[in-house]
Amino acid sequence: MAHANAAARAVALFDLDGTLTVRDTLLPFLTGYLRRHPARLARLWKAVPALLEYVRRRDRGRLKSRIIRMVMGGEQRTAIDAYADGFVNGLERRRAFHEKGLATLEAHRAAGDHLVLLSASPDLYVPRIGRHLRVERTVCTELVWNGDRLDGALKTENRRGAEKLRCLEWLRAEYPGASVIAYGNSDSDLAHMQHADRALLVNGGARARRLAAGLGIALARWK
């Protein structure tokens, strides 16, 4: 259902990894789980064929799914939820967020804008980060469960590149008339950022900065 009075407010659309956070969140999430469940390290031999397949197919979503299944596949939801709660609660302590990113998010909140988190990382923990940041919506890569046990296959497309553009178009329909202000950090984020009303590339690498400049997207460094 489209939100009422959306035209009077902007949609502030934030990427997560490397934009609001200092670095990637998925790898620390998975390695932290392995530290707590070292018996699952025996499954990691499967990473070799998964990486070889990725070299051939360049399918990041499938690679992500296969790695998650190696580490957490078959685990009960209650165990994963308890671990995810601790992981997200510890982000502030580990200084995982860019202070400027949080300040920008709060400035949009003060302006009355709609706050949306859009991430390719999985729904094992990203919605919890969204609740922690008190955003209005969280859109991320969703995974399949078999009852109360994690399957790990992708339920949605991997929310990256062109898929983020599709999400942006969906959000425009959800917030008719509202302008979209997009924040991202990588060249893959440019697929949707160039279609926003305003966009800011933060902490981008050399290639991302070069491409963003060619698209007229502003650049910034957040610390």
Residue by residue, DSSP assigns 190-215 as HHHHTTSSEEEEES--HHHHHHHHHH
Length, in residues, of the chain: 223
Q: Which of 163, 117, 143 minimizes the C-alpha distance to 17? A: 117
Q: Is domain 6-220 in CATH 3.40.50.1000, yes or no?
A: yes
Residue type, 6: A
pLDDT in tens, 55-112: 888 888 899 999 999 999 999 999 999 999 999 999 988 899 999 999 999 999 999 9
d(CA 164, CA 145): 23
pLDDT of 8 reads: 58
Q: Which residue ranges of the chain lie beneath pLDDT 50?
A: 1, 4-7
